[in-house]
Amino acid sequence: MVDRSGDGSVHEALLRERALVRAAQQGDTVAFSALVRLHQRRAYAVARAIVGTHEDAEDAAQDGFLHAYRALHRFLPDQAFGAWLHRIVANAALDLTRRRKVRAADELPETVAAPFRDPGEASHLRERLQGALAQLTERQRSVIVLHDVEGFKHAEIGTMLGIPEGTARSDLHHARAHLRRVLGGLRSEL
C-alpha cells in the first residue's frame, strides 16, 4: 500500500512508487530504502497478525524485505508492489511460525504474547482478550486481525495465507463469533 499522507494524489504516489521499484530493480539501494520506508508499517502489521509477537513480527518483516529484494528482478511493473510485498512478508511470517512451532513444540503451551505497546486497557481486559485469542486457531487469529484490524479483503487474506477466499471468510465468521461469546460481558466492564 502506498503512503497517502503526502501531498500527491494516489496516482502520483503510484507513479512515484513505480519509479522507485524500477530504480531498485536496477540496483539502486537508496530507492529500495525508500520502498522500505513506505511499506514497513504495513509489512510489520501483516507479519504481526500472523506471528503474534512484536519480536517475531520484526524478524518476519525484515526477512520479507530481504526476500523481496532478492526477488525484485521477478517483479512485474504492472503488479501492485504492496500486494506483492505483503505476500512475501506473509510467507516469511508463516515460515517463522512453522520454525518456532517446531522448536517450541515441547516447551510452551499456545499463548498469545503480550502486546509491544501498552494499549491502555485495564490489565484484566487485556488478559481476557489474550485468553480469548489463544483459544482461536492461528489462522483464525491471523484472519480476524488482517480483516478487522488491518482492513484487508477476504481475497487478499486468502492470497497472503495461501487459503481459499471462502476459508478466510469462514475463519473470520468463527473467530468473530468466538470472541463475541468469550468477551460477551466486556461492554459492562468498560
Which residues sit at the interface with other proteins, rule CB under 8 A?
29, 32-33, 36-37, 40-41, 44-45, 48-49, 54, 58, 61-62, 65-66, 69-70, 115-117, 119-121, 125-126, 129-130, 133, 144-145, 148-149, 173, 176-177, 179-180, 183, 186-187, 190
Pick from 103, 110, 120: which is nearest to 140 by CA? 110
User: Can you read off the three cell numbers belonging to residue 102?
Assistant: 517446531
In the complex, minimum distance from the CB of residue 17 to other proteins, in angstroms, rounded to a whole number: 16
In the complex, minimum distance from the CB of residue 14 to other proteins, in angstroms, rounded to a whole number: 21
- Residue 5 per-residue DSSP state: -
In the complex, minimum distance from the CB of residue 145 to other proteins, in angstroms, rounded to a whole number: 6
Q: Burial, 49: exposed, middle or buried (Cβ in 10 Å; 0-12, 13-18, 19+)?
A: buried
In the complex, minimum distance from the CB of residue 103 to other proteins, in angstroms, rounded to a whole number: 22
* Radius of gyration from C-alpha coordinates of the chain: 18
User: How far, rounded to the nearest angstrom, does the alpha carbon of residue 49 sit from its chain's CA centroid?
Assistant: 5
Q: For residues 68 and 85, what is the distance between their CA atoms, to the nearest angstrom?
A: 7
In the complex, minimum distance from the CB of residue 128 to other proteins, in angstroms, rounded to a whole number: 9
